[in-house]
Structure 1
Amino acid sequence: MKLPVLLPKRLTILLISLFFISACNPYERPLTVAAAPWPNFEFLFLAKELNYLPQSQYSLFELPSSTSVIQAFQTGKLDVAFLSLDEVLTLVALGIDLKIVSVIDQSSGGDALLVKPEIKTLEQLKWRSIGYENKAAGALLLDEVFTLSGLNNQTVQLFEVKQSEAKDAYMQGNIDALIVREPEKQQLIQLGAREILNSRLLQQRITHLVVVRKDILVSKEAQVTDLLKRFYKAHEYYLDNEKDALTTIAVRLQIYPYLLEESFKGTRFIEPKDALMRLSGSPSNVELQAAQLSKFMTQKNMLGKIPSDFKSIISTRILERVIYE
């Protein structure tokens, strides 16, 4: 069951906005930055709400799905994107010249398999339907389901359901199980779905990153550095003023603050010094993850030909400036 695909309203707004931005003098053009809904990406938008990011220097867009972010980055509409590692590898395989400049977090339960209330075990999914987005996170969790239950793609029905469509798919009642991520996960649990497996069980961690177009990193290094400084400043505000920060974010996302608080529990935020360590070394932690994940994605026919030198897509320069300047 593939749900109808419509041009998302926020993506339409992004494309219209970027048309006018592109008419500006390139030296005056603000940095264009986008992310899809995910708990720790919200500090980017919290920074905007707190007036840490001047509109004259930064244009921020929260798009309905990471697929929309990938498409906008691929076509040159974005300078900076917040994405998962598998999504970054997809862009690299498409020939996009980019640099990973920070590691934001790892999913620690934030991605999960949710089932209808009457389903109590993984084995009860036999001959039933599972909806998931055909990306590495979904594929990793699906593999774990098959490993633990003895099921396979011949004994369950698999359907592609995008994250932005998950709530509607569950409410229609046509899908028995869904692989989803936060904050959709909490919303489905409120509707009665049961969590039966999550990303804490995965050996291959789902990691989220910040990437920058290589030419932008060269020409606007100071601006990119300032973006991350203010992102981390917003995270510090959250730590010091959790109730106020949750309320501010929840109002923008139109969800209850207590659900947002639960969403954050499914992630492990990575502080700048730890992120720098993960990007440093030969090979670095991120290089090793990229090599392992690219192999998995290639086996699943999710990735085209990709360079094996992952060190070439990593830059520690921005984090060094964030930490030491």
Structure 2
Amino acid sequence: MSRPSSFSFGTLALSALVLVLWVAALQVPVPPQEEPLRVAVGMWAGAEPWVLAREAGELKSSQVNLVEMNWTSAAMRAVGNRVVDATVLSLDEVIRQIHQGYPLRIVMVTDVSRGADALMAKPAITNIAGLKGCRIGYEPRTSGAWLLSKALENAHLKLSDVQQVPLNPAEVEEIFQELALDGVVLSEPWRQRLHSMNLKEVYDSSVPGASIVRVLAVHPDALVVHREALISLIQAHFKWMPKLYENGRELSPVLRREGVTAEVFQQVMKNLEGVDLARNHRLLSQQEPWLGQLFTELQKGLVEDAESAARLDPSEVFDVSLLEELP
């Protein structure tokens, strides 16, 4: 007499049920892990509050990813190509980006440069007129290009009156002599780093009408997808920006990044005007018209064929909504 099979009908049914559940589980879509807000952080004091906030553990990498970049044009390409969602740019750089087809929104003014950007020349060149025919290094299509144009305009010169040498500011220390430069346009901290070369400042952003406004520029999609992270980013700026003026021990990571001493960094900050929350709100809502007027005026000199090009109204670019949502 044969032995009854140990593989019963109940066992078979249980196995089939497990198989069905396993297949069903494979078909359930797994919710994608949300990517953090990606922010390009250039070598500029007005972006350093976020570095301090990150070091203090207040900006979590799961929410905000700070992508460090040494020069402005790299940040412009990154935000234009959506490698990052936001970055600090000057007002003129934002205008250039938008007119090249890269949509951006301005959600905060980080600072105003009143001397932190400068045109420097060899000691033998005593004024702007002396730059005619000289080799001048600068970073094209950035605020450095605008400042150079502004300086030359004051001496009734044009860009075509100088030999233009495109360069990366981070390399100026090493290549100034190699490129046989007569002058260079730099922002901080690169300006401070060249003091050993005894260059003479012939023009800077402290001159009336030459101030450079830098802003947090954001891709429109990020205003929806990363709204909470952007609010945290803006909060961190207003909390930590005053620390940059205090010269406390918290500045150690900033000094390492900028490659300057605490004393030199304080000189940098003397040429940088912070913009608090209340004034930010007035500027972006255009209750205080200065920023909107500057935005409109800058387009005249920056946009090719300015007479026929579609002018941007500040209200199309300024977005005050995040400031209004701050707790």
TM-score by length of 2: 0.82
Specify the code of the residue in structure 2 equivalent to 1:104: T
- Residues 42-77 of structure 1 show CA distances to partners (whole Å, capped at 9, x for unaligned) of 111111112111122111012121111111111112
Specify the code of the residue in structure 2 equivalent to 1:30: P
Deviation at 1:320, TM superposition (A): 1.6
How high is the sequence identity, in percent, across the aligned residues?
A: 26
Deviation at 1:204, TM superposition (A): 4.8
Deviation at 1:134, TM superposition (A): 2.4
Asked whether the 8 Å contact 2:135–2:183 carries over to 1, the reply is: yes
- Residues 249-276 of structure 1 show CA distances to partners (whole Å, capped at 9, x for unaligned) of 1123332222222222221111111111
Specify the code of the residue in structure 2 equivalent to 1:264: M
Unaligned runs of 5+ in 2: 1-29
Deviation at 1:149, TM superposition (A): 3.5
Deviation at 1:25, TM superposition (A): 5.9
Q: In structure 2, which of residues 207, 214, 217 is the aligned counterpart of residue 211 of structure 1? A: 217
Specify the code of the residue in structure 2 equivalent to 1:79: D
Q: Which residue does the alignment assign to 2:54? A: 48
- Are 1:244 and 2:234 matched, yes or no? no
- Are 1:313 and 2:317 matched, yes or no? yes
Q: Which residue does the alignment assign to 2:82? A: 76
TM-score by length of 1: 0.82
Q: Sort the Cα spacing of 1:287 and 1:245 in 2 relative to 1 into closer, same or farther, 3 A.
A: same
Specify the code of the residue in structure 2 equivalent to 1:309: D
Q: Give the length in aligned residue pairs.
A: 298
Deviation at 1:165, TM superposition (A): 3.0
Q: In structure 2, which of residues 151, 167, 175 is the aligned counterpart of residue 169 of structure 1? A: 175
Moved more, 40-49 or 165-174: 165-174
- Are 1:262 and 2:267 matched, yes or no? yes
- Aligned to 2:83, what secondary structure does the other structure show? coil
Specify the code of the residue in structure 2 equivalent to 1:198: D
- Aligned to 1:87, what secondary structure does the other structure show? helix
Q: Which residue does the alignment assign to 1:253? A: 258
Q: Which residue does the alignment assign to 2:204? A: 198
Partners of 1:231 and 1:282 in 2: CA distance: 22
Partners of 2:222 and 2:39 in 1: CA distance: 12
Q: Sort the Cα spacing of 1:224 and 1:292 in 2 relative to 1 into closer, same or farther, 3 A.
A: same
- Which protein shows a greater Rg? 2
Partners of 2:230 and 2:143 in 1: CA distance: 28
Name segments (4+ residues, structure 1) moved above 6 Å: none
- Aligned to 1:242, what secondary structure does the other structure show? coil
Q: Which residue does the alignment assign to 1:35? A: 41
Partners of 1:283 and 1:261 in 2: CA distance: 29
Partners of 1:202 and 1:142 in 2: CA distance: 15
- Residues 176-202 of structure 1 show CA distances to partners (whole Å, capped at 9, x for unaligned) of 111111110001123322212111114
Asked whether the 8 Å contact 1:140–1:202 carries over to 2, the reply is: no
Asked whether the 8 Å contact 2:149–2:159 carries over to 1, the reply is: no
- Aligned to 2:185, what secondary structure does the other structure show? strand
- Aligned to 2:112, what secondary structure does the other structure show? strand
Unaligned runs of 5+ in 1: 1-23
Q: In structure 2, which of residues 281, 291, 296 is the aligned counterpart of residue 286 of structure 1? A: 291
- Are 1:272 and 2:277 matched, yes or no? yes
Q: Which residue does the alignment assign to 1:295? A: 300
- Aligned to 2:176, what secondary structure does the other structure show? helix
Partners of 1:73 and 1:152 in 2: CA distance: 30
Asked whether the 8 Å contact 2:114–2:205 carries over to 1, the reply is: yes
